[in-house]
Amino acid sequence: MGSGDLRALLDEARAGGSTIALVPTMGFLHDGHLSLVDRAAELSDLVVLSIFVNPLQFGPGEDLDRYPRDLDRDVRLAGERGVDVVFAPSVEAMYPDGAPSVTVAPGALADRLCGAARPGHFEGVLTVVAKLLHIARPDVAVFGRKDYQQGVLVRRMVLDLSMPVRVELAPLVREPDGLALSSRNALLSAGERGSALSLSRGLFAAREAFRAGQRDGPALEELVRREIEAAPALRLQYAELVRPDTLERAASARARDVLAVAAFAGATRLIDNVEL
């Protein structure tokens, strides 16, 4: 299905009074993605799931070629979960003239956390999200909380550019042992996956310390760092306590602050976060 076909289909649904939700993904669906579908179905009459591994958000040497893909499986899972339309464009369809000359600049909110570690990443994210929103024109777009900084930036873009869409951040979904669900988990060896549990263990320890009265931001960050640095196969990239909407570093913790972490398990980069 091309973008013109999708527009025509959704225009017809809209004319019939249906509300539309968009769930943007890069595919290789897991229960976290499917929970976004569930939330989208609660908020709309018709659910569109996009599947597109966006080359603009991968930097040189990152895992664009390694990123797991299985479109047939994704379409089957989406259908079983009640998705009405799957939109899976090719790179050529999304960027017919190659990399776009006009992109969305994320501003200062991208200068820290994942944005500091991955220059240009959020420019690529916002550019493709803007394109998807213009193509589908949904009433609501549903994103996962695991990519917390992404959610903050998408909300800011929608506000600053007066896009007529509501952005919903759905809860992060975990494996029973605490590991945050991610398509990249499929790239982990058994040993790397065991070590990756230190991300959630460190975050949970810091959250419990906050509940017990700890308010010193660096001390909470140190609890996370200590857990990760003790794990074999892990290389910490950052562990930071930030304010929920501005992403400013928080020296003194308060309720709703977000403790975010990124680390490499072997060659695979993982992220996680908790709200205090």
pLDDT digits (tens, 9 = 90+) for 83-138: 999 999 999 999 999 999 999 999 999 999 999 999 999 999 999 999 999 999 99
Query: CATH 3.40.50.620: which residues of the chain?
Result: 3-170
The average confidence (pLDDT) of the chain is 97
Query: CATH 3.30.1300.10: which residues of the chain?
Result: 183-275
What is the predicted pLDDT for the residue at 57?
97
pTM over 0.75: yes
* Architecture label for domain 3-170: 3-Layer(aba) Sandwich (3.40)
Q: How many whole angstroms separate alpha carbon 188 and alpha carbon 166?
A: 35
Location of structure tokens 């290389």: 235
Q: How many whole angstroms separate alpha carbon 154 and alpha carbon 145?
A: 12
Indicate the residue type of 238: Y
Element (H, E) at 141: strand 140-144
Long-range contacts for 116-122 (Cβ within 8 Å, ≥24 apart)? 116/238, 117/237, 117/238, 117/262, 118/59, 118/62, 119/59, 120/56, 120/57, 120/59, 121/57, 121/58, 121/59, 122/57, 122/149, 122/150, 122/153
Fold observed for domain 183-275:
Pantoate--beta-alanine Ligase; Chain: A,domain 2 (3.30.1300)
What is the predicted pLDDT for the residue at 1?
79
Catalytic site positions: 33
Q: How many whole angstroms separate alpha carbon 9 and alpha carbon 86?
A: 12
> What three-state secondary structure class fits 228?
helix
Q: 152-156, 231-235, 250-254: lowest mean pLDDT where?
A: 231-235
Segment 146-173 shows an average pLDDT of 97
